[in-house]
Structure 1
Amino acid sequence: MSDLHQEAKKKRAELGELFIESQQDFLLSTAEEGSYYPPKHIVTVSGYITNDRGEVLLVRNVHRSDTLEMPGGQVEEGETLEEAIHREIFEETGIAVDLIGITGIYQNVSNLIISVVFRGIFKSGEIRPAEGETSEVLFTHINYENINQLITRPHFRSRVLDAVSPNYLPFEAFKVRPYELIRRYEVKKEFS
C-alpha cells in the first residue's frame, strides 16, 4: 500500500464510525437483463523448449498417451502467462527454462480454450516424468520425416511446426495504476 493510503487508514481509525449504513452496488452488463454470463474461456500455455543439441523437449501425458506433445497446461487464477509456463514445464519435466518469445496463439472453439505457445531454451534440471501427469519426458530431434510418428494429434503438430521456424509475436505484460512494463518480447524472425 502507498504511504498516502496508510495515512488515510490511520486518519479513518482516529475518526471512528463515519456512517450508520452502507450499500454496495455492482454494474450490470449492458446486455438484456438475465442474458449476461461470465466468460468461460480457459487459457493454456505450452513450450517449444530446445537444448544445446537442438533437440526438443516432449512429454507423453497420461491422459493422452497416444501422442507426444510440448509440455504445458492451464494458467491458474491470478497467474501470469510466464509464471504458468515456467510452473507447468517444471511440474511436468523437472527442468527450468529461459523464454525467448511467443510463436503462436491457438483457439479450440469447441472447448473454448486459448493456447499460447512459448519458445525457450533449457536452463537447468534433470528431466523426469511427473507422477499422475506425464509418463514420459525426453529431448529428441524433430523433423518433417519423424513428426507424424512422434506427435499424432494434428493440432499439437501444427503448433510444433509453427515453433520450429518461428515468426515471434509481440507480447507485453504490465501492471496498471501506475503503469509498469514488466516484460516485452519483441517481434523478430529467426532463419535457419
Structure 2
Amino acid sequence: MENNHPKHIIAVSAYVTNENGEALMVKTHQRSDTWESPGGQVEEGEPLDKAVCREVFEETGIVIKPVGITGVYYNTSINLLSVVFKAEYKGGELKIQPEEIKEAKFVSLNEDNIGAYITRPHMQSRTIDAMNAKNCIPYESWEVRPYQLLGRLDNQ
C-alpha cells in the first residue's frame, strides 16, 4: 500500500548568545555565502529540543540549554519547516566539524550590521525575531500510551 502522507523536512536552529551578548554563527559548505544560526535536520522520533542541542554541539562543540521557540518558518520550495529556538550558552569550546561547517564564531550582531553577516533575507528575519523575542512559545514533548511528559520549555 502506498503512503500518500505529505513529506516535510523538519529542521531546528538556535539563536545562542555568550556572556558578552555575541551570537553564535556558522558558515556551512552548502551556504557559504551567508552566516546563519547553527542547526540542522531533526531525526525521526527525536524531540525538537534534543535535536537542536545535538545539532549545535555536533557543528560547533558548544553546549546549550534551549529556553523556548521564537518562531516557526516554512520554505515551500523544499517543504522545510524550520523551528528556531532561543538558547543559553552553557559551555564547551568552539570547535567546528569540517565535514559540515566551514567556519563558526561568536559575533556582535544587531539589526544595523546583520546584513554584513546574514545575506539571505529569510534567515535575517528569523534571526531578528529571535534577537527581539522577549517571550518564547512554550514547547512540550510527550510520549503516549501511557501519557508521559518528556520535557517542557516555557521561558522560565
1:185 positional shift? 2.3
The whole-number CA distance in structure 2 between the counterparts of 1:169 and 1:52 is 23
Counterpart residue number, 2:108: 141
The whole-number CA distance in structure 2 between the counterparts of 1:84 and 1:74 is 8
The number of residues matched between the two structures is 155
Identity of aligned residues (%): 48
Counterpart residue number, 1:58: 25
Letter in 1 for 2:16: I
The whole-number CA distance in structure 1 between the counterparts of 2:79 and 2:52 is 19
Bigger radius of gyration among the two:
1
1:175 positional shift? 1.0
The whole-number CA distance in structure 1 between the counterparts of 2:112 and 2:132 is 16
The whole-number CA distance in structure 2 between the counterparts of 1:185 and 1:90 is 19
Counterpart residue number, 2:57: 90
User: TM-score scaled to structure 1, two decimals?
Assistant: 0.76
The whole-number CA distance in structure 2 between the counterparts of 1:39 and 1:155 is 23
1:164 positional shift? 0.6
Structure 1 segments of 4+ aligned residues over 3 angstroms from their partners: none
The whole-number CA distance in structure 1 between the counterparts of 2:140 and 2:65 is 17
Instruction: Tell me whether 1:113 sits opposite 2:99 in the alignment.
Output: no
Structure 2 counterpart of 1:77, from 44, 50, 54: 44
1:131 positional shift? 1.3
Letter in 2 for 1:186: D
1:168 positional shift? 1.1
Alignment of 1:155-174 (within 5 A): 155-166=122-133, 167-174=135-142
The whole-number CA distance in structure 2 between the counterparts of 1:170 and 1:100 is 9
Larger mean Cα displacement after TM superposition, 75-84 or 53-62 = 75-84
Larger mean Cα displacement after TM superposition, 178-187 or 49-58 = 178-187
1:38 positional shift? 2.5
Conservation of the 8 A alpha-carbon contact between 2:26 and 2:101:
yes
- Structure 1 residue runs of 5 or longer lacking an equivalent are 1-27, 29-33
Residues 19-55 of structure 1 deviation map (CA, whole Å, 9 limit, x = unaligned):
xxxxxxxxx8xxxxx7x61221000000000111111
Residues 88-112 of structure 1 deviation map (CA, whole Å, 9 limit, x = unaligned):
1011101111111110000011211
- Larger RCO: 1 or 2 (CA < 8 Å, sep 6+): 2
Structure 1 counterpart of 2:94, from 127, 138, 147: 127
Conservation of the 8 A alpha-carbon contact between 2:24 and 2:37:
yes
The whole-number CA distance in structure 2 between the counterparts of 1:63 and 1:101 is 27
The whole-number CA distance in structure 2 between the counterparts of 1:144 and 1:85 is 24
- Structure 2 residue runs of 5 or longer lacking an equivalent are none
Q: Which structure has more strand as a fraction of its residues?
A: 2
